[in-house]
């Protein structure tokens, strides 16, 4: 299984914990994508991994721009099974607030699968890619 985790800031510890602890399989390498400005994410990833009992490896790459094509290409290249997007905010009625990048990803015509709303992440799983 291949999992991609999109983290927007170092404040998304619960998203990292949810993916490392209960979504990614033991021994799996999680590909973490973060905006270049989110510089404390590396520290967060190390902290979360060290507090968990299970072995999860990860790589970190920069995500530039608000466009989503780069993300889809990254996922397609690795034939990723899952893309997890850290939830930054919820609406008053408890809905996960969707930012521009997440909307572009959800409505992208190259990618399909199942959408599950977790506690701290939106999980796109069972992914398939066109083209």
| Contact positions vs another protein (CB under 8 A) | 90-91, 93-98, 102-103, 106-107, 109, 112-117, 122, 124
Measured from the CB atom, the residue of 40 and 95 that comes closer to another protein is 95
The candidate with the shortest Cα–Cα distance to 130, out of 105, 112, 107, is: 112
CB of 99 to another protein, least distance (A): 9
Measured from the CB atom, the residue of 49 and 101 that comes closer to another protein is 101
CB of 92 to another protein, least distance (A): 10
Measured from the CB atom, the residue of 61 and 66 that comes closer to another protein is 66
CB of 109 to another protein, least distance (A): 8
CB of 15 to another protein, least distance (A): 16
Enumerate long-range contacts of 56-60, CB under 8 Å, 24 or more apart: 56/20, 56/24, 56/26, 56/27, 56/28, 56/29, 56/30, 57/27, 57/28, 57/29, 57/30, 58/5, 58/20, 58/29, 58/30, 58/31, 58/32, 59/29, 59/30, 59/31, 59/32, 60/32, 60/33, 60/34
Measured from the CB atom, the residue of 44 and 85 that comes closer to another protein is 85
């Amino acid at each position: 299984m291949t999992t991609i985790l999109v983290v927007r800031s170092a404040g998304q510890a619960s998203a990292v914990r949810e993916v490392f602890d209960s979504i990614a399989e033991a021994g799996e390498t999680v590909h973490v994508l973060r905006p270049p400005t989110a510089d404390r994410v590396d520290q967060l990833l190390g902290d979360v991994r060290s507090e968990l009992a299970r072995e999860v490896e990860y790589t970190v790459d920069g995500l530039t721009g608000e466009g989503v094509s780069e993300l889809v290409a990254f996922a397609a290249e690795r034939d990723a099974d899952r893309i997890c997007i850290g939830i930054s905010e919820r609406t008053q009625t408890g809905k996960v607030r969707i930012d521009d990048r997440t909307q572009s990803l959800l409505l992208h015509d190259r990618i399909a699968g199942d959408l599950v709303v977790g506690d701290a992440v939106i999980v796109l799983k069972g992914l398939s890619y066109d083209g």
